[in-house]
């Protein structure tokens, strides 16, 4: 057991900060060029908490993606900002794309969450979906995070392709196949759900990313009053025509 643990420690990159002394939270440190920067508390060596190290890297990477954009951010630039070796980032996250996804703090399983909102039936489903998406954008996804994601989707072909595949395979198809066992019915259900999600996405994009007034500062109850009835019509159609009791 001790031998196996020792082998794992040898394979993992060093978790100590490169060219930095041990620091505590909020203390400025000097690198080899005598430049100073404020970093969160992080321990050196094998005793470092892995979760703490990963969160330190994510915080540095998020700042880089927001300030530099996806295309101009590299693993090396993130490593410099985090004060660690690039190999440590690869060890924890694999690729820049995977690190970007971790930084965006997207829901891990949105399909299951949407299924849970639809399973009780059509009554009140639109209200539940609108509340869910508004809470997600107001409390989980920050404006800087959303802007970085939008830039990546527009400028990086591989990211936009992965995101399309993610929405199609991990969200729409999972929901459709769960709610409708028949393949043809599931396909049609996927098309209807795509319209529903597009309605929600359009509103939150205008409200939180483009910040178009008066939608950007409109009270939630006003959004419900305008959006929920339209959304409920689509949901009622889905349950009536594709999910008969």
Question: Tens digit of pLDDT per residue, the chain (245 long)?
Answer: 545 444 444 445 544 444 333 333 332 223 333 333 333 444 444 445 677 888 889 989 988 887 777 778 899 999 999 999 999 999 999 888 788 878 766 555 778 888 899 889 899 999 999 999 998 888 776 666 666 677 666 666 766 777 787 788 878 888 888 888 788 888 888 888 999 999 998 998 888 888 899 999 999 999 999 999 999 999 999 888 877 66
Residue span of the structural domain in which 35 resides: 2-104
Same domain, 121 and 56: no
Domain count, the chain: 2
User: Helices 110-118 and 125-135 sit at what angle, rounded to 10 degrees?
Assistant: 150
Same domain, 76 and 169: no
Same domain, 62 and 133: no
Q: What is the pTM of this model?
A: 0.60
Q: How many CA atoms lie within 13 A of 211 on its CB side?
A: 5
Same domain, 40 and 117: no
Answer left, alpha or beta for residue 83, where phi above 0 means left and psi between -120 and 50 means alpha.
Answer: left
Q: Could you tell me the two tokens for 112?
A: 């299951």
Same domain, 114 and 230: yes
What is the reported pLDDT for 127? 96
Neighbours of 229 (CB within 10 A): 10
Q: What is the mean pLDDT of the chain?
A: 76
Same domain, 120 and 230: yes
Same domain, 120 and 227: yes
Domain boundary among 104, 132, 152: 104
What is the reported pLDDT for 27? 28
Domain boundary among 104, 132, 164: 104
Same domain, 120 and 61: no
Same domain, 150 and 194: yes
Same domain, 117 and 10: no
Domain boundary among 67, 88, 104: 104
Residue ranges in 46-182 assigned as alpha helix (H): 50-68, 75-82, 86-93, 96-104, 110-118, 125-135, 143-155, 157-165, 173-179
Q: Hunting for tokens 């890297």 — which residue is that?
A: 57
What is the reported pLDDT for 65? 81
Query: Radius of gyration over alpha carbons of the chain, in Å?
Result: 22
Residues 179-190, buried b or exposed e (16+ Cβ, 10 A)? bbeeeebbebbb
Same domain, 82 and 63: yes
Cis before 130? omega within 30:
no
Same domain, 26 and 68: yes
Give me the CATH number covering residue 116: 1.10.357
Sign of CA dihedral 87, 91, 97, 101: negative
Give me the CATH number covering residue 26: 1.10.10.60
């Amino acid at each position: 057991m001790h031998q196996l643990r020792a082998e794992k420690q040898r394979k993992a990159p060093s978790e100590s900060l490169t060219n930095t002394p041990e620091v505590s939270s909020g203390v400025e440190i000097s690198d080899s060029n005598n430049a100073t920067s404020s970093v969160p508390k992080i321990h050196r060596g094998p005793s470092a908490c892995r979760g703490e190290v990963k969160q330190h890297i994510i915080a540095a990477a998020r700042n880089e993606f927001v300030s530099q954009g996806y295309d101009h951010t590299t693993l090396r630039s993130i490593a410099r900002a985090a004060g660690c070796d690039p190999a440590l980032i690869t060890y924890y996250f694999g690729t820049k794309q995977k690190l970007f996804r971790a930084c965006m703090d997207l829901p891990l399983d949105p399909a299951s969450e949407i299924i849970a909102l639809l399973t009780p039936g059509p009554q009140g489903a639109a209200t539940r979906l609108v509340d869910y998406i508004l809470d997600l954008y107001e409390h989980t996804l920050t404006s800087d995070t959303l802007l970085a994601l939008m830039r990546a989707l527009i400028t990086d072909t591989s990211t936009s392709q992965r995101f399309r595949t993610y929405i199609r395979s991990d969200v729409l198809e999972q929901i459709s196949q769960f709610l409708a066992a028949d393949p043809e019915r599931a396909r049609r259900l996927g098309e209807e759900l795509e319209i529903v999600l597009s309605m929600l996405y359009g509103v939150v994009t205008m409200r939180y990313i483009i910040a178009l007034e008066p939608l950007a500062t409109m009270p939630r109850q006003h959004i419900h009053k305008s959006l929920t009835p339209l959304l409920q019509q689509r949901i009622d159609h889905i349950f009536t025509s594709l999910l008969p009791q």
